[in-house]
Amino acid sequence: MNSLRGSRRSNRRLPKRAAIGRRSFTSTLKSLDELAAFGARISVRVNDLDRGTSVLAGDDFVTLPVAGLGVVPLLIELASAFETGDLDPLEIVERSSVAPVGVGGVWQHLKAPAFPLADLAVLAAATGDATAANALMARVGLEAVRARIEDLGLSRAALLDRFRDERGPDDAPHVALGSARELAEVFAALVNAEAVSPSVSAQVAEWLSLNHDLSLVASATGLDPFAHENDEHGLLFINKTGRDAGIRVEAGVIAGPRAGLSYALIVCFDDLSIQHRLRVHEAFRTLGVDLMEYVF
């Protein structure tokens, strides 16, 4: 994946005069400050992959709920188990083996009653399929994922529970927790072939490159949500989003001819009206515009 990232770059550079002022995240900071003024909790981090430095950070160490982004360490552990032979990618899992859940995804609408583990990984990564993710959690085991999180050095991350339509008093309050700093670091490790091993990194990055949800940060990229693996303009992009009531999260990697960035933004807000929600979504898009101006 590291060589892939390098191959997507060109030697083209903007004239210095044209580049002045285009690598600032002023618009993002203004947008996030406005959200904070309305009581939102925010964690944001952007890292320059080539320089290894942070170019934007705000409460990036704070642990917040990350909803569906908890699938990322699950996919890493799954890919590692495939590599070691502890799990067979073609092992069939029955949908009936997990409790029905309707919070997201497509498997609940399909006639096929079973899929192999490798296909469930695609469903979880590409469509945010909660049933597929729950089936993977049941097969891989939460304890194995938690051990993997520790091995990855993620001290502020946790996969707490499966996806549920409703959470009772005896259930964990959230699916997963994380911080923007560590999420950005995980995605940087994936594209730099440093997450467990080069083959594990490549496999997880491949799954995530299929993600259909380009409605938040990625809405500024102009990519086709259903086919963006090989962009004709040389844009390398992988991401994962997380959504729950009053929670919006996205982390990923974006690389163009001028630079490569890993990023993560977590916003927890009072979802009191459509206006409140759209204000949050616009902040994600603003970050996307600033990221695009940085890498192109």
Query: What pLDDT is recorded for position 104?
Result: 87
Q: Coil, strand, or helix at residue 34?
A: helix
Confidence of residue 22 (pLDDT cuts 50, 70, 90): low
pLDDT score of 11 more than 50: no
Q: What stretch of H or E contains 5?
A: helix 2-7
State whether the Cα torsion 198-225-214-106 is positive or negative.
negative
217, 265 contact by CB (below 8 A): yes
Task: Output the six-digit token pair for 37.
Answer: 């003024």
pLDDT in tens, 112-135: 999 999 999 999 999 999 999 999
pLDDT score of 247 more than 60: yes
Q: Tell how strand 236-244 and strand 53-58 pair up.
A: unpaired
92, 210 contact by CB (below 8 A): no
Domain locations in the chain?
Answer: 2-295
Percentage of the chain modeled with pLDDT above 70: 93
Q: What is the pTM of this model?
A: 0.92
pLDDT in tens, 178-233: 999 999 999 999 999 999 999 999 999 999 999 999 999 999 999 999 999 888 88
pLDDT in tens, 37-65: 999 999 999 999 999 999 999 999 999 99
Q: Coil, strand, or helix at residue 74?
A: helix
pLDDT in tens, 250-261: 999 999 999 999
pLDDT score of 5 more than 80: no
The dotted CATH code for 2-295 is 3.40.710.10
Angle at CA of residue 46, ends 252 and 272, nearest 5°: 75
Q: Tell how strand 236-244 and strand 247-255 pair up.
A: antiparallel
